[in-house]
Amino acid sequence: MVRTLDSTERIGVVGAGTMGSGIAQVAAQAGYDVVMRDVETEFVESGFETIEDSLDRFVSKEKLSEADADAALDRIEGTTDLADLADCDVVVEAAVEDMEIKQDIFADLDEAVPEDVVLATNTSTLSITTIASVTDREAQIVGLHFMNPVPVMKGVEVVVGEKTDEAVAEFAHALAEDLGKETWESDDKPGFVTNRILMPWINEGIRAYDEGVASKADIDKGMKLGTNVPMGPLELADHIGLDICLDASETLHEELGDRYKPAYLLKRKVDAGDLGKKTGTGFYEY
Ligand code: CAA
């Protein structure tokens, strides 16, 4: 028997970066005990800072009381030891988008965590089936793809691998809903629903700028006012991180061919270290 939502009290999160800390935060805000693990103490501390900033934003907007923010923070325990996830009822992995690293983590989790626990991955483009293949619980591996910024974005994509059990997919939907999110489901095809469609949109925005169709501001304004999205493609690329966009685009290109080729300027910017908001320069200055 696999653990279900009824038997879930403690959630493990692997990775304390933008996505991992966001997932830890929404889980704690929903009342779960959380163990947030990263490889270095400084990454765990930085994850806590991100969470505190985000909780402060909710408090200053009067969307959350100070007491509830403090209580959420108290529910999160930080660690650098994967063995500390052993008493979690479900684990969500949100480490870097690198198949080898994810497979190493899943092989270690498979050893460290009881066999009835579901292991989810927040991967945005990598194959759930390939990640699951290194474990002895392939039916219990599922994609739980949160959107950035996790505390604000309502949607979560549930990705079903070749061997994922139907009950495990249902558990993933129920868990995300319990964290206050709405879900949709995708088969384990490159980029799933969101990035398969989003990455070509972003790359086309970059190409349009590089080929002189319009200024950066007008490309973003055109798409924002013209199609009623909150951010245009260049702004959104900066928000996501250009390195993340390039990684996702390269995976799609590799798997789906030339129509997914990343824009030349995206590569040039990543090579120059201009990764968007996080480095202070992307398509815009921050
Ligand atoms: N924590 C808590 N609250 C936050 C927050 C955070 N980290 N970031 C923003 N907010 C809140 C603010 O408090 C604010 O609340 P009010 O509306 O009550 O004022 C609201 O969100 C908007 O914040 P701001 O005014 O500061 O900023 P904004 O209006 O520019 O909105 C945004 C920010 C929510 C990010 C919005 O621009 C947006 O929705 N952009 C699109 C984001 C998107 O598409 N994300 C998905 C990317 S794809 C992905 O993640 C998947 C992948 O695999 C790559």
**pLDDT tens for residues 183-195?**
999 999 999 999 9
Give yes or no for residue 279 CB within 6 A of ligand 1.
no
pTM for the complete prediction? 0.93
- Tell how far the Cα of 237 is from the centroid of ligand 1, in angstroms: 13
Give yes or no for residue 229 CB within 6 A of ligand 1.
no
DSSP structural state of residue 134: T
What residue's CA is closest to ligand 1, atom 17?
Answer: 61
Please tell me whether residues 175 and 245 are part of one structural domain: no
Residue 1 has a pLDDT of 83
Nearest residue to 142 (alpha-carbon basis) of 116, 115, 114, 123? 123
Please tell me whether residues 208 and 263 are part of one structural domain: yes
Average pLDDT, rounded, for the chain: 97
Give yes or no for residue 123 having a pLDDT over 90. Answer: yes
Last residue of a domain, one of 170, 187, 204: 187
What residue's CA is closest to ligand 1, atom 6?
Answer: 54
- Tell how far the Cα of 96 is from the centroid of ligand 1, in angstroms: 21
Determine the 3-state secondary structure of 280 from DSSP: coil
Catalytic status, residue 145: yes
Determine the 3-state secondary structure of 13 from DSSP: strand
The token pair at 208 is 């349009």
Please tell me whether residues 112 and 171 are part of one structural domain: yes
**143: β partners:** 121, 159
Q: Which amino acid is at 220?
A: D
What is each CA distance from 158 to 95, 123, 172, 194, in whole angstroms? 17, 11, 7, 11
Please tell me whether residues 27 and 151 are part of one structural domain: yes
Catalytic status, residue 182: no
Distance spanning both ends of the chain, measured CA to CA: 50
Give yes or no for residue 240 CB within 6 A of ligand 1.
yes
Is residue 106, in this structure, part of any structural domain at all?
Answer: yes
* Cα–Cα dist 69/40, whole Å: 25
* Catalytic residue chosen out of the listed positions 93, 97, 138, 157: 157
- Tell how far the Cα of 264 is from the centroid of ligand 1, in angstroms: 28
Please tell me whether residues 209 and 233 are part of one structural domain: yes
- What is the layout of strands, in order, in the sheet containing 10-14? 76-79, 33-37, 10-14, 90-93, 118-121, 141-146, 155-160, 182-187
Q: What are phi and psi of 168, to 5 degrees?
A: -75, -40
> Domain range for residue 266?
195-271
Residue 260 has a pLDDT of 87
Catalytic status, residue 203: no
Residue 159 has a pLDDT of 98
Catalytic status, residue 250: no
Q: Are 3 and 81 in contact (CB under 8 A)?
A: no
